Amino acid sequence: MVCQDTIQRNELAHIDMRSDTVTQPTRAMRDAMANAEVGDDVYGDDPTVNALQERAAQLLGKEAGLFVASGTQSNLVALLSHCQRGDELLVGDCFHIHRYEAGGVSVLGGVMMGALATDHRGAMRTSDITAAIKPDDLHCPISRLLCLENTVYGHVHDAEHINALATAAKARELFVHLDGARLMNAAVKLGVPARLIVNAVDSVSLCLSKGLGTPAGSVLVGSEAFIERARRMRKLVGGGMRQVGILAAAGLYALDHHIERLAVDHTNALRLADQLNRIDKVEVKEDLVETNMVFMKLPDGSAKPLRKYLAERGILLGGGEPTIRLVTHLDIDVDAVDKLAIEIRNFFG
């Protein structure tokens, strides 16, 4: 199921395990992009964008969709559409929205972020959500929104868990947004349609440029009324693009061809974890490898020299000390996994 042109590229190029965002568009995806019918999307005239938005909404069981430039923009536009200045949103302390989006919703939207504890798999407790929702008291910000994420650092949260968290929030009239940058990895792993996982949430951000392998873009989905507000917010943050069907065509191609193959990335991640665990100095908790991410714990002081050693051999790893994240994706095949494991074994002698 690995695309032929991807395999050929791997033979020539380096092995890049930093993230699943590093993928190159395949030849077939580039053809789809080159042949895309386009129009001015700020006028709503781009047929390829419109088709992608409808497809994504249908896939996730929501009324409407909005194509945006990135996962960060998708989350930001969603949060600005749900919240007003002076509102508070609740979010897992390790989630991307809380840690890695430059605090955009607070900077631009005047929205406070209340961080809730997460466990080793990124799961929150319903009791913590209930306890964190503020009373109707003029001293407090208005708790407006709960933000979920799936997968979280590669961990899969099933519909039952998402429903329980969403129900706790909705009981107190909060909206619920889910950062589904890698939602399709969760759906493939669980073997259920993605819409069943996000049934109880109001809005979902789905990234096309992670495991799905496009050069850029995310789709935000929700009710018609929500997407109308989001369209205005997208404009406000400078995200209204014009003949962007060229990118949407890559997204449509990915939804047709790159969802089921995520299972290959998951299998490769398990293979990598198994091989790494055979190396004395390396530790991977294999039972925590649920999708395409492997967390490799190294002896103190060895992460930096290992990174350098591998870089000299054309292999790129992400940051972190003593634990490094390795991500499998469209451009990583079995040979790449095996080569990486061999080189790490060589490094440790």
Position among 116, 207, 230, 293 found at the interface with ligand PLP (CB under 6 A): 207
Rounded-to-integer distance, Cα 243 and Cα 54, Å: 17
With contact defined as beta carbons under 8 Å apart, do 141 and 109 qualify? no
CA 339 from chain centre, in angstroms, equals: 27
State in angstroms the smallest separation of the CB of 173 from ligand PLP.
26
Terminal-residue alpha carbon distance, the chain:
34
Site for ligand PLP contains 81 (CB under 6 A)? no
Site for ligand PLP contains 179 (CB under 6 A)? yes
**Which listed range, 57-65, 68-76, 135-143, 267-275, lies at the site for ligand PLP (CB under 6 A)?**
68-76
Site for ligand PLP contains 185 (CB under 6 A)? no
Residue 92: partners with Cβ closer than 8 Å, 6 or more residues away? 98, 115, 116, 118, 122, 124, 147, 148, 149, 152
State in angstroms the smallest separation of the CB of 274 from ligand PLP.
25
Rounded-to-integer distance, Cα 101 and Cα 71, Å: 9
Position among 26, 72, 143, 328 found at the interface with ligand PLP (CB under 6 A): 72
**Which listed range, 26-34, 67-75, 236-244, 278-286, lies at the site for ligand PLP (CB under 6 A)?**
67-75
Position among 23, 53, 70, 275 found at the interface with ligand PLP (CB under 6 A): 70
**Which listed range, 55-63, 64-72, 252-260, 309-317, lies at the site for ligand PLP (CB under 6 A)?**
64-72
Beta pairing class for 142-149 and 87-92: parallel
Where b means 16+ CB within 10 Å and e means fewer, 281-310 reads ebbbeeeebbbbbbbbebeeebbeebbebb
Site for ligand PLP contains 96 (CB under 6 A)? yes
Please give the residue ranges that form the binding site for ligand PLP (CB under 6 A): 21, 70-72, 96, 149, 179, 181, 207, 209
